[in-house]
Amino acid sequence: MKATCWYGKQDVRVVNVPDPKILNQRDAIIKITSTAICGSDLHLYNGFVPTMESGDILGHEFMGEVVEVGSEVKKLRVGDRVVVAFPISCGRCFFCKNEKYSLCENSNPNAWMAEQFFGHSPAGIFGYSHLTVGFAGGQAEYARVPFADVGTVKIENGFTDEQVLFLSDIFPTGYMAAEHCNISRGDTVAIWGCGPVGQFAIRSAFLIGAERVIAIDRVPERLQMAREGGARTINYEENDVYDLLMQVTGGRGPDACMDAVGLEAHTPGPLYFYDRLKQALMLESDRPMVLREAILACRNGGTISIPGVYGGFIDKLPMGALMNKGLTIKTGQTHCQHYFKPLLQRIAKGEIDPSFVVTHRIKLEDAPHGYEMFLHKEDGCIKIVMSP
């Protein structure tokens, strides 16, 4: 089959690889009909995530048709149309039983390594480095899905692929990040980053009942899409974000601030070069510019929600502000499976149509071009869907 493989920094190729096989009896094999490139794939593309191996198949947002199931698969049947959650979760451990699927204790055979980095291992993730298992990903024609009964949601006809594909990651990720904002009536939520997750976070915040959403980015097309979702926007290259946020909130600050950017943040001015230099010298692995700004802007007693991906260590976190302002931090990889049913219902009721975020549709063979276009945000690129 054809698969999108990682061969090094900014070196992604579509090559022929052997078809996947059932390796554990709770596996299923999916024939992929749609797959997407995620913003977090760009961290791999840029070489910021350690323990990638040459030849790893990328991709953790995919859906398709079940073509084979292992003997211990109970619910799925050959022929079912399913969306696959990006975290791999056993469904039986303490965390899975509490629906904290991305913290599954049993889906990472390389847990020892994650323990050395993080103290404990999170769940395995498709196509996302050997630290989180090195499971082959879904930017391919077929994929093996471990614990298939837990990790998939069955889709009845009547939905297009693009309406439901993003249940695999970015819609639940934006939604969980909005839930983490602890929104109550009258709240203002500020969201840094208007990439695909930021876009879903904006719409989710309104679904949950936010009064106002203020979205911060610098790419005109992304700010435009944020406004279409009902947000007010700030271009951080043209305005002082803190000042403007204080102006529109009567000096109090947003009730919740969300970092939907993560470890490769940008900021105008010398601070960017300071963090870029520290990263180059390996004195920090992640650039926390957005997080610093969010902590300073957030109102006293407010909430910081972090869906943006961090991998290692950051420098100069304003801990004094965090503590003295009594802020709460909520974060984590998304417990996708927990959101499958409620979000599918919201789509069915017409409360949201996730296909709004798609700007480009390409063939799987063109994945290398897709990565380049997404990285440089060429041609107004926000979300790319590929079909094998």
Partner 1 sequence: MSQEERLANGLSIFGIGLGLAELTVPRRLAKTIGVPSEHHRIIRAMGLREIASGISILMQRTPTAGLWLRVAGDLIDLTCLGAAAMSKRADHRRIAATTAAVVGATALDFVCAQQLSRGVRTRNGTMPVTVSLMIDRSPEDLYSYWRKFSDFPSFMKHVISVKPTGERQSHWVVTGPFGATVEWDAEITEDRANELIAWRSVEGSDVDHSGQIRFEQAPGGRGTMVTVEMHYGPPGGTLGSAVSAWFGEDPNQSIKMDLRRFKQVMETGEVITTEGQSAGRSTSTSIQYDPAVRR
Stretch that binds partner 1, among 37-45, 141-149, 273-281, 363-371 (CB under 8 A): 141-149
Q: Is 32 in the site for partner 1 (CB under 8 A)?
A: no
**Rule CB under 8 A: which of 37-66 touch partner 1?**
51, 53-57
Report, in Å, the least distance between residue 90 CB and partner 1: 4
Interface with partner 1, residue 15, by CB under 8 A = yes
Residue located via tokens 């899975």: 96
By CB under 8 A, what part of segment 92-121 binds partner 1? 92-94, 97, 105-107, 109-113
In the complex, least distance from residue 285 CB atom to partner 1, rounded to whole angstroms? 20
Residues in the chain: 388
- Closest to partner 1 by CB, 7 vs 272, is 7
Instruction: Report the distance separating Cα 227 and Cα 222, nearest Å.
Output: 9
Contact yes or no for 5/56 (Cβ under 8 A): yes
- Say how far apart CA 56 and CA 36 lie, in whole Å: 16
Residue 359's nearest CA partner among 202, 236, 195, 227 is 195
CA-CA-CA-CA torsion sign (161, 162, 168, 172): negative
Q: Is 382 in the site for partner 1 (CB under 8 A)?
A: no
Size of the site for partner 1 (CB under 8 A): 47
Kindly tell me the burial class for residue 226, based on how many C-beta atoms sit within 10 Å of its own C-beta (0-12, 13-18, 19 or more).
buried
What residues does 8 pair with on adjacent strands? 11
Which one of residues 9, 11, 24, 379 is an interface residue with partner 1 (CB under 8 A)? Answer: 24
17 or 296: CB nearest partner 1: 17
How close are the terminal C-alpha atoms of the chain, in Å?
A: 10
Binding site for partner 1 (CB under 8 A): 1, 3, 5, 7, 13, 15, 17-21, 23-26, 51, 53-57, 72, 90-94, 97, 105-107, 109-113, 124, 130, 133-136, 140, 142, 144, 146-147
